[in-house]
């Protein structure tokens, strides 16, 4: 029989789809198949053959509970969220930054260290931040990036093969008082040393913390905020150069704020920019001619009205971007949406994240609690906390579950609120995100998030809801 030929069987197994369950199912056919699919050499070839594995999920950050993994695949390929989570004792002082090439990066400001974690193997490595960046008292707005040392140009390399043996780490720092001064430094695990610190001057802008970097060729790119809203900071780690690139002049999206902008990597591996108008996506691409002159071109316009209803587009904004798959994540009125920008394929991300043991509250009781909480925040010398004065009793009915959260940027003094609404069986029914140009502090933003949830419940004439805030808990 043809399958008696080991080489032929290996080639056939190599063509299995890259979903997580494919090799697992093949391994239970017989011992011979199990031996082939568990061989390290075969696994390297398998990953190299499938240059772009499926998106297993994405990491989200909550102001109150930290980071969490949100899977995207359906069973049996779905990865449990707990599988990609550090033990709690390792998370207490860590700030989640971003992930790339199968590696996750955290910053430990207490110990002045960057923590690189491989969620597949569970291994982690700590790298001390260089002295110019490492004093927590003098950290300005600092950002860090991790990437596999092989990069994306080595098509024979499968990210994950080298685990934590070969990676690069970039740290970016801006002055505490002078945002125009930007510094960057590169660390390579192979040599185990930091390179020289390179610097440049911006026009008074700074990196927007909620927008991760995008890798374009040998350059890492970030969006800049403030006076140059929408401009881009680029760090070429091969030539050790730090520059600022202006956004397209006719990209009027930038005036709406950074929730409507995102850096992208085009099909030609050029720098791109996504602008969201509320009804369409405008994709810009920067091209450089033989004389080194860079020009922006409008590459593509995606009319979302043709794919989504006007109701779905209410209160929508860009939530994330995956450079490896050219996928955009969009918050819409009734959920979260994943858009493949090459094929214009739309996939809804609807999950049941309902927790066990939550008590149900009425809208009226939640309103009183949120009002008292706001008063406590305004008068901090009040003796008794608001929650201690409330006597809650669970309701024996089906309720609407609402999760609210908030973000606050101490440098811009701006904030944002977001909420996800589910019915009594956990089905996602609504989502919204709001931006506030002026904010007092993070706790006030959490109170505003609760207020936004209550207002929405009132507008929808809901009789009972169960609301959970990252900072204040359930109510």
What pLDDT, in 10s, does the model give residues 400-417?
667 777 777 666 777 777
User: 15 and 156 share a domain?
Assistant: no
Q: Give the pLDDT confidence score for residue 63 in this predicted structure.
A: 53
On whether residue 218 sits in a domain, the answer given is yes
Task: Pick the range with the lowest mean pLDDT from 122-126, 151-155, 344-348.
Answer: 151-155
In 3D space, the residue among 251, 216, 246 whose CA is nearest the CA of residue 233 turns out to be 246
User: 37 and 98 share a domain?
Assistant: no
Residue found under tokens 């008068």: 379
On whether residue 36 sits in a domain, the answer given is yes
- What are the φ/ψ torsions at residue 302 (nearest 5 degrees)? -105, 115
Q: Give the pLDDT confidence score for residue 220 in this predicted structure.
A: 92
The enclosing domain of 371 has a CATH number of: 3.30.420
Q: Give the pLDDT confidence score for residue 329 in this predicted structure.
A: 85
User: 240 and 380 share a domain?
Assistant: no
User: 20 and 111 share a domain?
Assistant: no
- pLDDT of 229 strictly over 70: no
- pLDDT of 362 strictly over 50: no
User: 367 and 343 share a domain?
Assistant: no
Provide the domain limits for residue 279: 261-349
User: 41 and 115 share a domain?
Assistant: no
* Percent over 90 (pLDDT), the chain: 8
pLDDT tens digits, 298-338? 989 999 888 877 766 766 778 788 888 888 888 776 667 88
Q: Which residue has the higher pLDDT, 381 or 437?
A: 437
User: 333 and 366 share a domain?
Assistant: no
Q: Give the pLDDT confidence score for residue 186 in this predicted structure.
A: 92
Radius of gyration over every alpha carbon of the chain, rounded to an integer in angstroms: 24
Q: Give the pLDDT confidence score for residue 138 in this predicted structure.
A: 56
On whether residue 390 sits in a domain, the answer given is yes
Query: 289: pLDDT confidence band, cut at 50, 70 and 90?
Result: confident
**Most confident option among 128-137, 190-199, 331-340, 345-354:** 190-199
The number of distinct structural domains making up the chain is: 4
In 3D space, the residue among 311, 309, 248 whose CA is nearest the CA of residue 282 turns out to be 248
Domain end, chosen from 349, 373, 404, is at: 349
| Residues 104-108, mean pLDDT to the nearest whole number | 86
- pLDDT of 187 strictly over 90: yes
On whether residue 253 sits in a domain, the answer given is no
The average confidence (pLDDT) of the chain is 73
| Residues 441-453, mean pLDDT to the nearest whole number | 77
On whether residue 77 sits in a domain, the answer given is no
On whether residue 59 sits in a domain, the answer given is no
User: 295 and 213 share a domain?
Assistant: no
| Residues 459-471, mean pLDDT to the nearest whole number | 65
On whether residue 73 sits in a domain, the answer given is no
Q: Which residue has the higher pLDDT, 397 or 193?
A: 193
pLDDT tens digits, 128-154? 988 877 665 555 666 788 888 775 555
């Amino acid at each position: 029989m043809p399958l008696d030929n080991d080489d032929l069987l290996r080639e056939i197994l190599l063509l299995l789809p890259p979903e997580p369950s494919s090799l697992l199912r093949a391994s239970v056919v017989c011992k011979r198949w199990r031996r082939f699919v568990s061989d390290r050499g075969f696994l390297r070839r398998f990953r190299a053959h499938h240059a772009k594995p499926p998106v297993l999920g994405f990491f989200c950050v909550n102001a109150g509970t930290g980071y969490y993994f949100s899977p995207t695949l359906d069973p049996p390929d779905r990865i449990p969220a707990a599988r990609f989570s550090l033990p709690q004792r390792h998370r207490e002082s860590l700030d989640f930054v971003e992930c790339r090439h199968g590696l996750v990066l955290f910053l430990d400001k207490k110990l002045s260290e960057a923590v690189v974690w491989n969620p597949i193997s569970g291994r982690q490595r700590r790298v001390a931040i260089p002295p110019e960046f490492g004093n927590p008292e003098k950290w300005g707005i600092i950002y860090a990036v991790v990437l596999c040392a092989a990069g994306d140009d080595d098509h024979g390399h499968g990210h994950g093969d080298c685990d934590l043996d070969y990676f690069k780490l970039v740290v970016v720092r801006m002055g505490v008082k002078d945002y125009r001064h930007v510094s960057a430094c590169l660390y390579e695990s192979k040599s185990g040393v930091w390179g020289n610190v390179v610097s440049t001057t911006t026009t008074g802008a700074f990196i927007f913390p909620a927008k991760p970097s995008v890798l374009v060729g040998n350059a890492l790119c970030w969006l800049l905020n403030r006076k140059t809203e929408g401009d881009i900071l680029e760090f070429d780690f091969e030539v050790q150069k730090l520059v600022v690139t202006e956004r397209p002049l006719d990209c009027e999206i930038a005036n709406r704020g950074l929730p409507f902008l995102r850096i992208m990597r085009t099909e030609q591996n050029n720098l791109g920019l996504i602008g969201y108008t509320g009804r369409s996506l405008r994709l810009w691409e920067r091209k450089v001619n033989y004389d080194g002159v860079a020009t922006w071109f409008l590459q593509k316009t995606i009319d979302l009205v043709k794919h989504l209803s006007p109701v779905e587009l209410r209160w929508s904004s860009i939530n994330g971007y995956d450079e490896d798959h050219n996928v955009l994540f969009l918050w819409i009125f009734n959920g979260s949406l994943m858009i493949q920008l090459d094929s214009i394929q739309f996939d809804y991300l609807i999950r049941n994240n309902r927790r066990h043991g939550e008590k149900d509250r009425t809208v009226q009781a939640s309103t009183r609690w949120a009002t008292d909480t706001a008063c406590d925040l305004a008068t901090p010398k009040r003796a008794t906390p608001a929650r201690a004065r409330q006597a809650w009793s669970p309701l024996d009915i089906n309720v609407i579950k609402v999760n609210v959260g908030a973000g606050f940027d101490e440098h811009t003094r701006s904030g944002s609120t977001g909420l996800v609404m589910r019915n009594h069986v956990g089905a996602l029914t609504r989502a919204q995100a709001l931006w506030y140009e002026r904010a007092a502090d993070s706790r006030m933003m959490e109170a505003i998030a609760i207020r936004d949830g209550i207002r929405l419940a009132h507008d929808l004439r809901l009789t009972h809801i169960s609301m959970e805030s990252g900072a204040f808990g359930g109510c």
